[in-house]
Amino acid sequence: MASIANMDLADVPSLDLMTELLRRMKCANKPEKRLILVGPPGSGKGTQSPFIKDEYCLCHLATGDMLRAAVAAKTPLGVKAKEAMDKGELVSDDLVVGIIDEAIKKPSCQKGFILDGFPRTVTQAQKLDEMLEKKGTKIDKVLDFAIDDSILEERITGRWMHPSSGRSYHTKFAPPKVPGVDDVTGEPLIQRKDDNAEVLKSRLDAFHRQTQPVIDYYMKRGVVNKLHAEKPAKEVAIEIQKALS
């Protein structure tokens, strides 16, 4: 994380400073929210996260994005995670719990967080509860991106990503302005190594066996909102706004 002590604020463009100041003023009165997004691969968790993050002033913590960054940087964490990720299996609970425990301490998570792709096992959910209990907080809402498996292959095989920002596109449903190029930076888009029909089968299997029970775990607390994730992205966003209002 960039530290303000190592930065000369005079070098930061005025527009960036003003934008951040306005954002903080807008966020000052927002209530805290701690959210979990759960759903199979391609159900739209990453697509909906930027708008939820901006609207409710939350940080977006996507374990998949964090693990991919660690794999790309060849850190010890990335080396441990790579094999399971390439096969579409889950990485060990201890690895991801450690990542989240660290990440939720960030100043940008002060108003709460969006957990995208975590917890994915009941053990992870229990560990998260322990973490939050220590801080005297709890999960407010779980958004269940419910969708039929048959829709997901087309979404996954048509997805293109901008790796450094996590922005995702789709050749048919959300094409970039220029094919193969990120709208914001102009940098090239890539396809994820696990975004193919073969690995998708393992990812779906892991979802149904290990992650579906997480939804039941939170159902018992009455905090789950089921979304119609097969609808167009704009309609799903409206459902989310209703669920969070």
Give catalytic status of residue 167 as yes or no.
no
Both tokens of 61, joined, read: 């913590």
**C-alpha span between 12 and 9 (Å, rounded):** 5
Q: State the number of CA atoms in the 13 A half-sphere of 214 facing the CB.
A: 29
**184, 167 in Cβ contact below 8 A?**
yes
Which residue blocks in 9-146 are alpha helix, DSSP H? Answer: 14-27, 45-56, 63-72, 76-87, 93-103, 122-135
Give catalytic status of residue 120 as yes or no.
yes
Q: Which range binds ligand AP5 by CB under 6 A, 3-11, 22-30, 115-123, 217-225?
A: 115-123
| E-assigned strand segments in 106-220 | 112-116, 141-146, 159-162, 167-170
Check 53, 192, 226, 231 and give the catalytic one.
192
Q: Which range binds ligand AP5 by CB under 6 A, 21-29, 105-113, 134-142, 155-163?
A: 155-163
The residue from 120, 127, 162, 167 that contacts ligand AP5 (CB under 6 A) is 120
- Is 117 a binding residue for ligand AP5 by CB under 6 A? The answer is yes
Is the Cα torsion angle 97, 101, 107, 112 positive or negative in sign? Answer: positive
The residue from 35, 36, 43, 189 that contacts ligand AP5 (CB under 6 A) is 43
- Is 85 a binding residue for ligand AP5 by CB under 6 A? The answer is yes
In the complex, which residues of this chain contact ligand AP5 (CB under 6 A)?
39, 41-47, 63-64, 67, 84-85, 88-91, 96, 117-118, 120, 124, 155, 158-159, 168-170, 173-174, 203, 232-233, 236
Instruction: List residues with catalytic annotation.
Output: 45, 120, 159, 192, 203
